Amino acid sequence: MTFEESLAFLDEVGQSGICLGLDSIRELLKRIGNPQDKLKFVHIAGTNGKGSTLAFTSTILTCAGYRVGRYSSPRVFEFEEFVQVNGENIEREAFCRLAGNVKDAVDSMKKDGLGSPSLFECETAIGFLYFVEKRCDIVILECGMGGRDDATNVVDTVICNIITSIGLDHMGFLGNTLAEIADVKSGIIRNQAPVCIGRQEPEALSVIQERCHKVGAHARLVDFNALKVYPDLEYSGDGIPQIRFDYKDLKNLRIRLLGRYQLDNACLAIEAVRSISTNGMTVRGDAVREGLRLAVWHGRFETIGVNPRVIIDGAHNPHGMKQLKNSLEYYFPGRKLIGIMGVLADKAYDEECEMMAPLFEEFFTITPPNNSRALAAEKLAETLKKYHPKVQACQSIEDACRQARAAAGPEDIIMIFGSLSYIGEASRTYARIEKELKASGY
């Protein structure tokens, strides 16, 4: 298939919406040879921090000399980024060829009177085929949503499970309390593989530990008392800001992912690779150090401009917004903050607006483009005005970026945040505006 035909196929299966349960994905994988059974996995579930923990873990293992696949969602910058090997996106030729294999299997399912797999299930199958083709030593696999009924939970060759911080999100699908959501997410714990557990509320932690006990899996918690953070940002030789910290016996570690919450994710990744080391894979301390330093995860408290400093962050639920708020207060006390905000209508945006409003000098709201779930900029502005007097709804991302840029001084901070679905476009738009301004001598 051509790239356009592959996209058309995925768009067609995407019309079926979210499909929870494993029957469809199992049937699809059986018809393409069960590629997942030829791989080893680290399986990650949680509400926030999954992608960053995936980035830390996979980069450490790459630095240790392994061929590492990683599967994540949602996309932020490039279509092919959902499937990577050693940090490189799936090649377009391979994507089209493997999408054709999956389409053939889907067509045969339909011919046999079975329902069509979902978009996420088809993309998961493409990923598994690619990882086998590339002879990956290990795959870091991120749940799409939930855990127990997520398409990724079809894998049986897991050598380590990771549960990142759990909060209230996707409540229409996963439950209305932390305990209910934790029960669904801890459903990835199905064998005796060790389980590395990030920072949790007691209600969620109790459920996870109970699940570990039930299946005989060793629970390995991050020891936050063993974390020491150095107070000031440091800068590498190329000017990239870094956080320096110690964790247990590892001293003077550095990460480029700046949100304060990233320290939790980095420590969780350390625990994961140490668990993996007990399963026949050697990961030395220098690989841990180098992997942490090199790890990147675009769209999470990422600086994309200076003078003024421009930061993008895909915080998209109250738990993520709280972490973003803590980071802004810690790194930029007393600085003027200008917000560009866009969210989805099915999120707890009123609570998020109330939480974030006191930090900012002014807001520009946008409607995330090309997303049927997007909340209109006008509706978001109306909500923000309950908590902040200076809010303006904008007609486009470009309009918001230009107005924020005009309102900001060189020492101010422009914070672009909310739904991950528009963060990539916002980054590209702002870069283009900055290039125009420099070309004009501004």
Instruction: Please report where in the chains the tokens 């279509």 appear, as a residue.
Output: 79
196 and 337 in a common domain? no
Q: Which runs of consecutive H residues, i.e. helices, occur in 15-48?
A: 23-31
Q: Of 27-41, 193-207, 294-308, 355-369, which range is least confident? A: 294-308
Q: Of 273-282, 314-323, 378-387, 405-414, which range is least confident? A: 314-323
Instruction: Give the integer Cα–Cα distance in Å for 55 and 266.
Output: 9
Kindly list the strands in the beta sheet with 158-163, ordered across the sheet, starting from the edge strand earlier in the chain: 88-89, 83-85, 68-71, 138-142, 41-45, 158-163, 195-197, 219-221
What number is the average pLDDT over the span 297-301?
A: 84
What number is the average pLDDT over the span 342-353?
A: 91
393 and 274 in a common domain? no
Identify the pLDDT of residue 48. 86
Q: Of 67-76, 118-127, 131-140, 196-205, which range is least confident? A: 67-76
What number is the average pLDDT over the span 114-141?
A: 96
Confidence of residue 55 (pLDDT cuts 50, 70, 90): very high
Is pLDDT of 35 > 60?
yes
21 and 92 in a common domain? yes
Identify the pLDDT of residue 439. 83
Last residue of a domain, one of 255, 272, 294: 294
Nearest residue to 206 (alpha-carbon basis) of 177, 227, 169: 177
Is pLDDT of 56 > 70?
yes
pLDDT digits (tens, 9 = 90+) for 148-188: 999 999 999 999 999 999 987 644 456 678 999 999 999 99
How confident is the prediction for the chain on average, in pLDDT?
92
Identify the pLDDT of residue 171. 47
What number is the average pLDDT over the span 306-333?
A: 87
Identify the pLDDT of residue 131. 98
Identify the pLDDT of residue 173. 56
Instruction: Give the integer Cα–Cα distance in Å for 374 and 421.
Output: 9
226 and 173 in a common domain? yes
Domain total for the chain? 2
Last residue of a domain, one of 235, 262, 294: 294
Identify the pLDDT of residue 371. 84
411 and 263 in a common domain? no
98 and 182 in a common domain? yes
Is pLDDT of 74 > 90?
no
User: Which tokens in the block code for residue 71?
Assistant: 């599967």
What number is the average pLDDT over the span 241-254?
A: 94
Instruction: Give the integer Cα–Cα distance in Å for 397 and 184.
Output: 36
Full residue range of the structural domain in which residue 356 is found: 302-439
User: Which are the contacts of 358, defined by CB distance < 8 A and separation ≥ 6?
Assistant: 387, 388
Nearest residue to 305 (alpha-carbon basis) of 424, 414, 437, 422: 414
Is pLDDT of 354 > 80?
yes
319 and 287 in a common domain? no
User: Please, what sign has the CA dihedral across residues 145, 265, 123, 112?
Assistant: negative
333 and 423 in a common domain? yes
Contact 11, 130 (CB under 8 A): no
Is pLDDT of 391 > 60?
yes
Contact 253, 247 (CB under 8 A): yes
Instruction: Give the integer Cα–Cα distance in Å for 326 and 313.
Output: 13
Identify the pLDDT of residue 174. 65
Nearest residue to 420 (alpha-carbon basis) of 297, 331, 266: 297
Does residue 232 or residue 402 have the better pLDDT? 402
Q: What backbone torsions phi and psi does residue 268 show, to the nearest 5 degrees?
A: -65, -40
Greatest Cα pair distance, the chain, in angstroms, is 65
User: Which are the contacts of 144, defined by CB distance < 8 A and separation ≥ 6?
Assistant: 73, 120, 124, 150, 151, 152
Q: Judge residue 423's burial from the number of C-beta atoms within 10 Å of its C-beta, 0-12 exposed, 13-18 middle, 19 or more buried.
A: buried
- What CATH number is given to the structural domain containing 319? 3.90.190.20
222 and 306 in a common domain? no
Instruction: Give the integer Cα–Cα distance in Å for 270 and 423.
Output: 28
Confidence of residue 61 (pLDDT cuts 50, 70, 90): very high
Last residue of a domain, one of 273, 294, 315: 294
What number is the average pLDDT over the span 3-31?
A: 89
226 and 275 in a common domain? yes
Is pLDDT of 238 > 70?
no
Which residues make beta-bridge pairs with 311? 303, 415
Percent of the chain at pLDDT exceeding 70: 97
Identify the pLDDT of residue 66. 97
User: Which are the contacts of 423, defined by CB distance < 8 A and separation ≥ 6?
Assistant: 76, 299, 312, 313, 314, 416
The amino acid present at 152, given as its one-letter code, is T
Most confident of 72-81, 110-119, 133-142: 133-142
